[in-house]
Amino acid sequence: MLLTIIFVMLAEVLIFVPSVSRFRVDYLQERLERSQIASLSLLATPNDMVEPELEAELLENAGVLNIVLRRDSIRELILASPMPAMIEQSYDLRDPSPFTLIKDAFMTMLPQEDRVIRVLGQPVKGAGLMIEVALEEAPLRAALWDYGRNILVLSAVISAFTAALLFLAVRRFMVRPIERLVRQIKKYEEAPEDARRIIQPKATVTEIFEAETALHSMETQLNTSLRQKERLAALGGAVSKISHDLRNILTTTQLLADRMEHSDDPRVQKSAPKLLNSLSRAVNLCESTLAFGKAEEAAPTLRKVSLQRLLDDVVEAETLALSDGTVEIVAQEVGAIEMQADEDQIYRVINNLVRNARQVLAAGKGGRIVLSGEETPDGWSVMVRDDGPGLPPRAMENIFKPFEGSVRKGGTGLGLAISAELVRGHGGTLELVENSDQGAAFRIWLPK
């Protein structure tokens, strides 16, 4: 409402300026017309003379001090009265510019000593070449101020009335639909699994209707997702319990199978190692499933981390795990780069990528793993590159999905899934940027 009043008053100011100018012109033009009528009264007498009392009355009715009429190139003083002061300013109303009229109007409104002014105009009905009058400026100034106050009061009334109408309209068409939208959101927040609380779009304002439609779609998808996640959570709980019990059973079976290795039966001795390997993989899968189901990664604690020191630590730890010299792990010099990251989490990610590459290379003909990094205006990039055989096509489809992305015998496929989750927690990305029979390269990108 306040803004509406302000805007209407600003509009009224734009109207007020020419209005005051027009009022002043009309005021002076009216005095000229009255003076012309008074001069005609004088010209109607036999000797162009009137009694002093009648002359004073004519001038008073016209609101002027004297009247000069120019007819046939002759300038005649028709009526006159004693002048209270000398004429200080002349105004010609015959062909003034709008700018001149506006300037004269505001100069008249300025507080100053009472002056006598002269006004020149064109007689109506062709009754002469020019008419000029002298009058006091004080009444004109008072009339202008009265007019201005009336305009101000009228503008205030119009502003208040317009603001009230606008307030009611906005309340009816905007505020109430928005309040309804907020109530629906809060209602849905209380029980998002209740499909009856999903908003039904019915606003009459196009923009709010579109917002309700988008909210309806989002709530519908969220409701479906919540139901699905509830089922998955229940299934995950059941799987965890099954995996726990199955792990105990398999551990007992593994102990029994271990005794079979000491049997004298050649067939048993031949089958026992395979049986033990199968049981070990089953136990490992159960333990990985339980660990993944319980994993709740904390939010990263960001602080400045030396990238060179981080890469060197990973290289040192993984080099100790090498059983022979077929695999080489090196970290390139990256200088004094410091990145904002959780050191422990990023160490786990890099170490996991290096370990995967090391295990693949160790199972083959060996190779080289190179760690590098760089800083850009937008963030930091860490590369883990190897010259191994690359990833098979089947692994590319589910590389970052738990239990599905493993390409190594006995692997669970959880390493890359957890690594990708940790990088996403930093707002970054983990992606496979190169993959061929010449090797593979993973890139970790963290934003600034």
Residue with tokens 């002469």: 128
Three-state secondary structure readout of 322-334:
CCCCCEEEEECCC
Task: State phi, psi for 215 to the nearest 5 degrees.
Answer: -65, -40
| pLDDT of the chain, 448 residues: tens digit per residue | 788 878 877 877 778 888 889 999 999 999 998 888 888 777 667 666 677 788 888 888 888 999 888 877 677 778 888 888 888 889 998 888 888 898 988 888 888 778 899 999 988 876 678 889 999 999 999 999 999 888 888 888 888 888 888 888 888 888 888 888 898 888 888 888 777 788 888 888 888 889 889 988 988 888 888 777 776 666 666 666 666 666 666 666 666 666 666 677 777 667 666 666 666 666 666 665 655 555 556 678 889 999 999 999 999 888 887 777 788 999 999 889 999 999 988 998 999 899 888 888 888 788 899 999 999 999 999 999 999 888 877 767 667 776 555 555 545 566 788 888 889 888 899 999 988 888 899 999 999 8
CA 195 – CA 198 distance, rounded (Å): 6
Copy the structure tokens of residue 19: 């209005």
Closest to 32 (Cα-Cα) out of 132, 100, 170, 180:
132
Q: Report the DSSP pairing between strands 429-436 and 379-386.
A: unpaired
Does residue 327 contact residue 387 with C-beta atoms inside 8 Å? Answer: no
Does residue 314 contact residue 351 with C-beta atoms inside 8 Å? Answer: yes
Does residue 42 contact residue 78 with C-beta atoms inside 8 Å? Answer: yes
Copy the structure tokens of residue 271: 């089958």
CA 55 – CA 51 distance, rounded (Å): 6
Task: State phi, psi for 248 to the nearest 5 degrees.
Answer: -65, -45
Any alpha helices (H) in 95-136, and if so which ranges?
98-109
Residue 225 neighbours by CB distance under 10 Å: 11
What are the tens digits of pLDDT across the range 96-149? 888 889 898 888 888 877 889 999 998 887 667 888 999 999 999 999 999 988
Largest Cα span, the chain: 164
CA 236 – CA 238 distance, rounded (Å): 5
Residue 11 to residues 58, 169, 170, Cα–Cα distance (Å): 42, 21, 21
Q: Tell me the helix, strand and coil percentages in the chain, rounded to 5.
A: 60, 20, 25
